[in-house]
Structure 1
Amino acid sequence: MKKLMTIFLLTLLPLMAGFYPPTVHTRITAVDGSRVTLAKALPANGMSGVVLHNFGKGLQAITGILVQTEPGHATVRKGDLLDHPGLPTPKSVALPGDTVLGGYLYNNVLVLAPNAETYRKITRSGGRFFIHPDLYAAYLSREGDSTPDASNLAGFAREAQVGLVYIVQKGRAILFDPISGHIVASRAFQPVGSEARYPFYTRFSSVGGGFFGGGSKGDYYQSVGGIK
């Protein structure tokens, strides 16, 4: 039994170690329009983060969304993840000295997998708050979309506070940042079994107007393969 438990834990190590980019705290050292320099580079290009501005008197708020374009350099835009109507509006979304939280919400992960067994293989490793694809399926049904893409993933991420999307594609697994629209990690991956539900695994047999109904046909790997 002890040997079996050791083997089981070893199979989980590749899922847990080194795949998810860590959350990083750093600060802005220089600003040139929408381009900023960071005191410390984020672990991967394409990672998003938030700019935190201190207004004084204990008031701090998100003022901008940041995406690293090359090590130690990033672009910023006005933040749209959280509203702070009671706080003053800064002259800029990013100022020298502002704090940056890279990998904001990266602990919240949506998983798109071909079947329930593969979904469980991914989520049993723990270490993250896994958002069930049922919620995303309901969002797609409400929006009238049929398959995952960068646009509806970004919309769902804002609504459900998703930081990363773990997607099983052919021969690999990727981590897609829906805020930046970039892949921030990729590794070889084999699903469990051969079942591949279209457009992805969900517990629903139908949503809304039959979006996932019995007549829904298609290829799972094609439905998620366009996310690059």
Structure 2
Amino acid sequence: MKQVFLFFIIALELFGNVVKSPVIGINEDATEVTIKVEKIDVGVSGFIVHEIADGHTTILKNAVVTSYDEGSKIAKVQISRYNALASSALPDGKWEVKVGDTAVLAFGYTRGILIAPNEEIYYKITKNSKLQWVHPDIFATVLSFNGHPTPLRSDFTQMSIDSSVGLVFIFLDNRVYTLDAKSFKILAITDAKVEQKEVSLPFYTRVPEIDAAWWGEGSDELEEYEPHYYELIIKANPNDKTLYEIVKSGNEKLKDLLDEFDFEGKKDDRKKTFGLF
């Protein structure tokens, strides 16, 4: 077991460095830029930064890597409105992204949060890592403020912004899924075989109760751990064939989630799986 967690910790430490690269191209409708970078994973998020004057910069856009070509070292980066620091008291610049601006990616990857089903698993995974772990109690307070005893994707995004968390780790069925906190794209799937004796819902936290809103999505108590977190991950990764195979080979409670996937050849695979040929 020690060896398994050593491998996980080594993989985890690889995510620590911020990547900076100048913008070398912008598409026609200014929704995507290109950069040249030695190595980057699809799904890594960050910002586009513009230099106003010597030593003074401002963040213009959110950024998420959508593709990377290892041969040319070219990455395509989707950009969108940056509103993390939105305030009527702050000046609103009119700068647009241009060639020469800087993509800052993997920002906050030194800080992470682990969603685990119980205290034992939580501490087995986190105790030997140099990563700055944000305790799930903090996330539980975010959920309580929002009235969401069932965590939503938007809750993870808010926590990422409020606590500068770059990575989310979710333990599911003897695996740890490493996700970018904003894009929720899978960066790694690591085996972590450990006995799961009990489940705390919605996850391990020392907060005794999460307040619920009167109505709306997320306001109901979470009834089952694995199906909910698998669904959140699948919705952000509908083309991931590795995840599809994991879910397909999982228990019956996960079978309905197969319909959430969308990639070429899935329909034929489903026919073979359920003997429809």
Q: Shared topology, TM-score over 0.5? A: yes
Is it true that 1:205 corresponds to 2:198 in the alignment? no
Contact kept, 8 Å, 2:149 with 2:212, in 1: the verdict is no
Q: Corresponding residue for 1:225?
A: 230
Q: Corresponding residue for 1:49?
A: 46
Is it true that 1:130 corresponds to 2:161 in the alignment? no
- Post-superposition Cα deviations, 1:9-68, rounded to whole Å, max 9, x if no partner, equal x55421222345343221211111211111216521011011111111321121111101
Match of 1:119 among 118, 122, 141: 122
Contact kept, 8 Å, 2:4 with 2:191, in 1: the verdict is no
Which structure would you say has the larger RCO, counting Cα contacts within 8 Å and 6 or more residues apart? 1
Secondary structure in structure 1 of the residue aligned to 2:142? helix
TM-score (norm 1): 0.83
Q: Distance in 2 between the 1:43 and 1:18 partners? A: 15
Q: Distance in 2 between the 1:147 and 1:109 partners? A: 20
Contact kept, 8 Å, 1:108 with 1:128, in 2: the verdict is yes
Q: How many residues were matched structurally? A: 215
Q: 1:16 to 1:171 in 2, by over 3 A?
A: closer
Contact kept, 8 Å, 1:62 with 1:82, in 2: the verdict is no
CA RMSD of aligned residues (A): 2.5
- Greater fraction of residues in helix: 2
Structure 1 residue 138, shift from structure 2 partner:
1.5
Secondary structure in structure 2 of the residue aligned to 1:82? coil
Q: How do residues 58-207 of structure 1 correspond to structure 2 at under 5 angstroms? A: 58-71=55-68, 72-82=75-85, 89-92=93-96, 94-207=97-210
Identity of aligned residues (%): 24
- Post-superposition Cα deviations, 1:97-144, rounded to whole Å, max 9, x if no partner, equal 112221111111011001111111121122211111111112111211
Q: Corresponding residue for 2:255?
A: none
Contact kept, 8 Å, 2:116 with 2:203, in 1: the verdict is yes
Structure 1 residue 192, shift from structure 2 partner:
4.4
Q: Distance in 2 between the 1:171 and 1:12 partners? A: 11
Secondary structure in structure 2 of the residue aligned to 1:135? helix
- Greater fraction of residues in strand: 1
Q: 1:17 to 1:90 in 2, by over 3 A?
A: farther
Q: Distance in 1 between the 2:115 and 2:92 partners? A: 39
Contact kept, 8 Å, 1:149 with 1:224, in 2: the verdict is no
Q: Structure 1: which amino acid aligns with 2:165?
A: V
Give unpaired runs (5+ residues) of structure 2: 69-74, 214-220, 234-277
TM-score (norm 2): 0.70
Contact kept, 8 Å, 2:64 with 2:79, in 1: the verdict is yes
Q: Corresponding residue for 1:24?
A: 19
Structure 1 residue 90, shift from structure 2 partner:
4.2
Q: Structure 2: which amino acid aligns with 1:226?
A: E
Secondary structure in structure 2 of the residue aligned to 1:226? helix
Q: 1:209 to 1:39 in 2, by over 3 A?
A: closer
Q: Distance in 2 between the 1:200 and 1:194 partners? A: 14
Q: 1:209 to 1:46 in 2, by over 3 A?
A: closer
Secondary structure in structure 2 of the residue aligned to 1:18? helix
Contact kept, 8 Å, 1:29 with 1:36, in 2: the verdict is yes
